[in-house]
Amino acid sequence: MPDVFADLVGQDEAVATLRHAAAAAAAVLRAAHPAAVGSGQAEVEGQPGVDPGAGMTHAWIFTGPPGSGRSVAARAFAAALQCAYGTGCGECPGCHTTMTGTHADVRLVVPEGLSIGVGEMRALVLRAASTPSGGRWQIVIIEDADRLTEAAGNALLKAIEEPPPRTVFLLCAPSTHPDDVSVTIRSRCRVVPLRQPPAAAVAEVLVRRDGIAPDVAQWAAAAAQGHVGRARRLARDPEARQRRDAVLAVPRRLTGVGAALDAASALIAAAEAEAEASVAEADAAERAALQTALGAGGTGRGAAAAMRGAAGQLKDLEKRQKSRATRAQRDALDRALVDLAGFYRDALTMALRAPVAPVHTDTAAMAEAGAQKWDAEGALRRLEAVLECRAAIEANVKPRIAVEAMMLTLWKG
């Protein structure tokens, strides 16, 4: 049976750090309850000389590029902390409930909109201060900690500065750059850097865990550029493959200004459609749940007053859903831009005759033709145009404006 760290692909160093910390954390618990050693006896013998506390701390930041497994690492570490054996065995109730998201002392915060608000954070910090019901740790995992508002960041900082003795905060962010995580929060956390996993390691996990055929797994792992979740989607979901094909058809469709602007419209429309499909189901379910809770259609006493309050709640819900839709659109567009960047990167490495494997094996011939036509310099200018477009959208430039500018540069060079 693989332990909880098995799916953390190509991250040996980070896994070693986390195993050590989990063992240290278990030693802290044993030191606090010497009488309760019982079930953990084997582990005491297996981990001689672990100094209680060394290697363990109350706040951690997992950094790395999208898809490197930041939240996978955080969840695996949480499981190891809740593990009855302190190792992350993958089989005990502590491991099992943490990995399936049902452990009472592990809270996962996934921001649905563009940012995590202060109200949400205050409530979370308050609950995290309570005594762990399972007798081990209260754990809060914050995915996309870079999307905290400043006020929410301050609320979190207060908790991290004076942590309750059994509370652990696990933050996930792209990097420790001050744009992502405030310097004061960073200074209170231990950082676990994750790297972009090599394609071979990603392919291996797709075959082993998901039962995907080795040749498909290898193609998908390369095309996804180290993003494990994306590789799995490409290998399994024909619609995801179609969307990628459409994106990779862009370079050969750029034959003039009109075509470039058409390509921009098509790219944005595709991102919108993909985003809409991904949030539609959740939107409808939430609206139905709220309407039921509010007793929609009720005619009894107090129904009029309830309806007045209901309008406000419905408005709040719509605002949250709109924010989530915007985020989903940006994420979809960003995936398309990463695919496109991979194509121009292939053209660049081919123009340079660099001995590296192409990202997109299925468009390698087209990239080679581009390399001949543009030379390294032209390929580099185009690659830079894609990367600038990503940065512009992240900096809140309207997507249509950024994508049109990019398409014109991709056409003209």
- Per CB under 5 A, residues contacting Zn ion are 83, 89, 92, 95
Q: Which two tokens stand for residue 278?
A: 């991904």
CB of 81 to Zn ion, least distance (A): 10
Q: Which two tokens stand for residue 18?
A: 């986390």
| Dihedral, CA of residue 393, residue 399, residue 401 and residue 402, to nearest 10 | 40
Is the Cβ of residue 92 or residue 306 nearer to Zn ion in the bound state?
A: 92
Question: Cβ distance 386 to 380 under 8 Å?
Answer: no
CB of 12 to Zn ion, least distance (A): 21
Kind and range of the H or E element at 23? Answer: helix 12-32
Q: For residues 329 and 335, give the distance between their C-alpha atoms in angstroms, rounded to a whole number.
A: 10
**Range list of β-strands (E), 38-112:** 59-63, 106-109
CB of 77 to Zn ion, least distance (A): 12
Is the Cβ of residue 95 or residue 199 nearer to Zn ion in the bound state?
A: 95
CB of 231 to Zn ion, least distance (A): 28
Q: For residues 202 and 225, give the distance between their C-alpha atoms in angstroms, rounded to a whole number.
A: 9
The two most distant CA atoms of the chain are separated, in Å, by 78
Question: Cβ distance 99 to 79 under 8 Å?
Answer: yes
Is the Cβ of residue 24 or residue 83 nearer to Zn ion in the bound state?
A: 83
Residue-by-residue DSSP string for 117-150: -HHHHHHHHHHHTSPPTTSS-EEEEETTGGGB-H
Is the Cβ of residue 92 or residue 114 nearer to Zn ion in the bound state?
A: 92
Is the Cβ of residue 8 or residue 83 nearer to Zn ion in the bound state?
A: 83
CB of 22 to Zn ion, least distance (A): 10
Alpha helices in 249-363 (DSSP H): 250-253, 257-293, 303-351
CB of 104 to Zn ion, least distance (A): 16
In the block, which residue shows the tokens 């058809």?
Answer: 249
Is the Cβ of residue 40 or residue 358 nearer to Zn ion in the bound state?
A: 40
Is the Cβ of residue 92 or residue 259 nearer to Zn ion in the bound state?
A: 92
CB of 80 to Zn ion, least distance (A): 7
Is the Cβ of residue 43 or residue 274 nearer to Zn ion in the bound state?
A: 43
Is the Cβ of residue 95 or residue 248 nearer to Zn ion in the bound state?
A: 95
CA angle 199, 201, 204 (to 5 degrees): 110
Angstrom distances, CA of residue 172 to CA of 65, 78, 94, 181, 213: 11, 13, 22, 10, 31
Edge-to-edge strand ranges of the sheet holding 138-142: 106-109, 138-142, 167-173, 59-63, 190-193
Is the Cβ of residue 22 or residue 332 nearer to Zn ion in the bound state?
A: 22
| Dihedral, CA of residue 237, residue 242, residue 244 and residue 249, to nearest 10 | 170
Nearest-CB residue to Zn ion?
83
CB of 47 to Zn ion, least distance (A): 14
CB of 311 to Zn ion, least distance (A): 48
CB of 94 to Zn ion, least distance (A): 5
Q: Which two tokens stand for residue 408?
A: 């014109």
Query: What are φ and ψ of residue 227, in 5° steps?
Result: -90, 110
Question: Cβ distance 305 to 278 under 8 Å?
Answer: no
